[in-house]
Amino acid sequence: MGFINEIDSYRWNKISAQIYSCTESNVENAISAQQPTINDFMALVSPAAEKYLEPMATLSQKYTRQRFGKTVQLYVPLYLSNACINHCIYCGFNHNNPLKRIILNDQQILEEVKAIKALGGFEHILLVTGESPQQVGVEYLENAINLVKPYFSSISIEVQPLKQQEYERLIQAGLNAVYCYQETYNKERYKVYHPKGLKSDFDRRLDTFDRMGAAKIRKMGLGVLIGLEDWRTDAVFMALHLQYLQKHYWRTKYSISFPRMRPHEGNDFQPNVVITNKQLAQLVFAFRLFDHDIEIALSTRESESFRNNMLSLGITTLSAGSKTDPGGYTASQNVELEQFSVNDNRSPAQILQSIRNNHYEAVWKDWDQALG
């Protein structure tokens, strides 16, 4: 089974038409709903809801504080490699992009870890690679997890989709969470953005989440890339996917994000869709009203001002001090090696101060392997 068998029962154009036909009355009913349905969620992300951002923000803040308190979790990404076999037309790691490919060795990984630990109290690390199974496969990832495990209480990965047995192997090594972005749920258009490579197989990528769930991963992260297809429709499909996963893998925790496309070296792809800050805020509010327990992350793709404004309105997780190139923490940043250009360039100390200025508390560590 799996969500790949359910998604075909939904039609992109039909869902889109339903979203855009929502009325103010639909939005008001959705805001007042104790347990919003997927139809309510459609109303909350619809154009009709743009007049209701203030009450949505108030409820989003209320539900977030009830569940998470006045806290925000901080994490840091560590890019291990930019080698990639995929040809995603929007990504700096595109196989055709003539950038220098780097795969960090053991010594380089530990040097990066040392530099990261010097930045502050990070206990959550996200290991990131391009998708190159032959060069950075499960053996490489298992070794990397073993190298960083003594220094962090929680280890996540954002890498190529793996087999269930491979996820189980990495969980045994100390893996806590996996992030995998479908990028867009528009199956008919998916191949346009992913013409070659393993990622070009829509069904295989979508099935990744069922393999994670079957492997009993502690937390999985979903996401869509804003800039490819209509963000409202993609959001509804992600909400449907989330509902399915929560039903079938209810022991797993879930996180969502919706990164906006950012410039990168060799970029000649212009976003098909532009989302405003108000609309992105609406998307955050809609998901918080839809699911009070979901973790919602904002990366350094977003600006300092937007992240500051959203801090108390629904966000639970922020990255800080991010470098998106392999070896970026131990050397001056190599723009030509980046996956994307960072928008919030503040240091972790500056972000920490901003969190405190908003009367929030930064959580460096909220879970430990010994308690798992």
pLDDT digits (tens, 9 = 90+) for 217-240: 999 999 999 999 999 999 999 999
Q: Of 25, 28, 20, nearest to 46 (Cα)?
A: 20
pLDDT of res. 372: 45
Position 335 pLDDT exceeds 50: no
* pLDDT, the chain, mean: 92
Name the one residue in this structure whose structure tokens are 């990639």. 84
Q: Which amino acid is at 225?
A: L
pLDDT of res. 336: 47
pLDDT of res. 331: 76
User: What are the C-alpha distances in Å from 130 to residues 141, 144, 324, 336, 338?
Assistant: 12, 15, 11, 15, 11
pLDDT of res. 370: 44
Position 30 pLDDT exceeds 90: yes
Q: What is the pTM of this model?
A: 0.93
Between 202-214 and 231-248, two packed helices, what is the crossing angle to 10 degrees? Answer: 30
Judge contact between 220 and 256, C-beta under 8 A.
Answer: no
pLDDT of res. 325: 85
Q: DSSP letters along 179-220, please?
A: E---B---HHHHHHH--SSGGG-HHHHHHHHHHHHHTT-SEE
Instruction: Return the CATH number of 3-371, one of 1.10.3720.10, 3.40.228.10, 3.40.50.2300, 3.20.20.70.
Output: 3.20.20.70
Report how far residue 275's alpha carbon sits from residue 38's, in angstroms, rounded to the nearest whole number: 22
pLDDT in tens, 265-311: 555 678 899 999 999 999 999 999 999 999 999 988 898 999 999 99
Domain segments of the chain: what residues? 3-371
Residue 339 carries which DSSP code? Answer: S
Name the one residue in this structure whose structure tokens are 């495990």. 149
